[in-house]
Amino acid sequence: MIEVIPVSSKKELTDFIDFPHDLYKNDPYYVPELFIAQRDLLTKHPFHKHNSLQTFIAYKDGKIAGRIAAILNNAHNEFNKRNDGFFGFFDCIDDDDVAAELFNTVKNWLKEKGVTQKIIGPVNFSTNEPCGLLVEGFDSSPVLMDTYNAPYYINLVEKQGYQKQIDLISWNWEGQNYDDKSVRLLTTLQERLKRNNILIRNVNLKDFKNETIKLREVYNKAWDQNTGFVPMNDEEFDYLAKDLKLILDPDFCLIAEQEGKIVGFGLALPDYNQIFKTIKRGRLLPTGIFKLLLNKKKISRIRIYALGVIEGYRKMGIEACLYGTIIKRYKERGFKCAEAGWTLENNILINNAIIAIKGDPYKKYRLYEKDI
């Protein structure tokens, strides 16, 4: 017997967050999300002020067998002139019947909300947050803020009639196995940009509030042509920035600026998943916090999380300068590997640039869609 219920209590929310820990308890590549971060995301994130979300738990024979969230993202529909719904936070045992009940529940909920076009996912809550179903690259753990799932999820989703919308690619470098042309040309590139009064600098953490205001404008302009993009409002970007500030390294948060105007930025983050992997069930207390504090210096990987330049300033060498500076500091700091991602499979310009510096497309995530 399969039963799907809406999450409505603190205990059910805890069960919803904890289910993947039990599902993947024997998976060597699984990394638990921090409980407090997931709880706040599902209950306190500014997204909830202007959009709707309902989480569901599936039980089979009295035991938790799956979870999913139905998401109505009004900002997406307004910006893209659509009437779509989304699914996210999908985890399930290898059981087609359980998956069918979960997806049908999402479809019915979205129909009640007036959605008439497509259901898209997985996204948690949009492409601004972790998204995509892992379809290639199951032989390593996810890097910070990447999704993870077992290979059988592909069949679970596709048997429900979902088809590929677009693939997202993550790129990898091991050790010094990269083309350092952008590093060798860094001085030349910087001089060229300087003639146009453009400089590359570190983020100013002492003036982080004002930096965040300018960075939000760049973020919403630099990615606005990407498939499925949703602009972030002030509160949402501040929420993200506040979280990132806790873990960012100023040496890897770079700003391209022309006479006080920010025209691009590059952000690489230490891979805290290397620590989170050791924190049982994502609980920082009582001992997880010590693992976090004591092992920060042992992190050996970075993730190039975002790198973008606004229209009118592209192809001037800013992108190469940002990449070159990150690579140079990666080498100086002794990191052993790096990930860049994700990028859209149809972003030929940026993908070719990554291939040119020997990026290895080692993981692929997929966004699916289905007519409602």
Domain boundaries, the chain: 2-168, 174-364
Question: Tokens for 326?
Answer: 């990150």
The Cα-based distances of 324 to 8, 186, 255, 317 in angstroms read: 49, 6, 13, 10
Residue 189 pLDDT: 86
Q: Once rounded to an integer, what is the mean pLDDT over residues 5-16? A: 98
Which long-range CB contacts under 8 A does 151-158 form with residues at least 24 apart? Answer: 152/94, 153/90, 153/92, 155/96, 156/92, 156/94, 156/96, 156/99, 157/90, 157/99, 157/133, 157/368, 158/368
pLDDT at 286 over 80: no
Contact 336, 131 (CB under 8 A): no
Among 127-131, 177-181, 259-263, 288-292, which stretch is predicted with the lowest mean pLDDT? Answer: 177-181
pLDDT band at residue 184 using 50, 70 and 90 as cut-offs: confident
Residues of the chain above pLDDT 70, percent: 100
pLDDT band at residue 292 using 50, 70 and 90 as cut-offs: confident
The mean predicted confidence, pLDDT, of the chain is 93
Residue 50 pLDDT: 94
Common-topology check for domains 2-168 and 174-364: yes
Q: Once rounded to an integer, what is the mean pLDDT over residues 74-100? A: 96
pLDDT at 289 over 90: no
Contact 308, 223 (CB under 8 A): yes
CATH 3.20.20.70 assigned to 174-364: no
Residue 295 pLDDT: 85
- A 10 A CB-CB count for 167 gives 19
Residues 6+ apart with CB under 8 A from 23: 91, 93
Residue 223 pLDDT: 80
pLDDT band at residue 105 using 50, 70 and 90 as cut-offs: very high
Contact 47, 236 (CB under 8 A): yes
pLDDT at 181 over 80: no
Angle between helices 10-23 and 35-43 (to 10 degrees): 130
Q: Quick: pLDDT tens for 193-248.
A: 999 999 999 999 999 988 998 898 888 888 877 777 888 899 999 999 988 888 99
Distance, CA of 243 to CA of 247 (rounded, Å) = 7
Residue 350 pLDDT: 84
pLDDT at 279 over 80: yes
Residue 290 pLDDT: 75
Which numeric CATH code is attached to 2-168? 3.40.630.30
Among 39-53, 174-188, 260-274, 347-361, which stretch is predicted with the lowest mean pLDDT? Answer: 174-188
pLDDT band at residue 339 using 50, 70 and 90 as cut-offs: very high
Residue 230 pLDDT: 85
Contact 135, 366 (CB under 8 A): yes
Residue 285 pLDDT: 82
The Cα-based distances of 178 to 94, 327, 349 in angstroms read: 39, 9, 18
Contact 66, 109 (CB under 8 A): no
- Minimal CA–CA distance to 185: which of 316, 317, 309, 308? 317
pLDDT at 180 over 80: no
- Residue the block writes with tokens 């891979």: 271
